[in-house]
Amino acid sequence: MSQEQQPKQLPVVTPVRVVIALCLIAPFVAMLWVGSYAKTDPAFIGIPFFYWYQMFWVLLSTALTVVAYQLWHRDQRARKGGASQ
């Protein structure tokens, strides 16, 4: 009786994918929690907190999306490389 070898299943939820999810969810949580930034002080170069905080998150969201993208591609390359072995 010969047993057929099943291809090794890689886990769906990995630490890298958790980091990717956190990178993509953080901007939504920060922007939906309006009470945390609905104020005028501290002002930054004369711009009320309400505005510069949102602009800060535009830049930070871009950086987090780039990080998530890079991690996703690294994860996909690792999965393809591991599946062919």
Q: Please tell me the pTM assigned to this model.
A: 0.76
Residue 30 to residues 15, 24, 35, 67, Cα–Cα distance (Å) = 22, 11, 10, 18
- E strands in 5-81: none
pLDDT per residue over 5-27, tens digit each? 666 676 688 899 999 999 999 99
Q: What angle do CA 20, 74, 57 make, to 5 degrees?
A: 35
Give, for all 85 residues of the chain, the pLDDT tens digit.
556 666 667 668 889 999 999 999 999 999 999 888 888 899 889 999 999 999 999 999 999 999 999 999 998 888 887 655 5
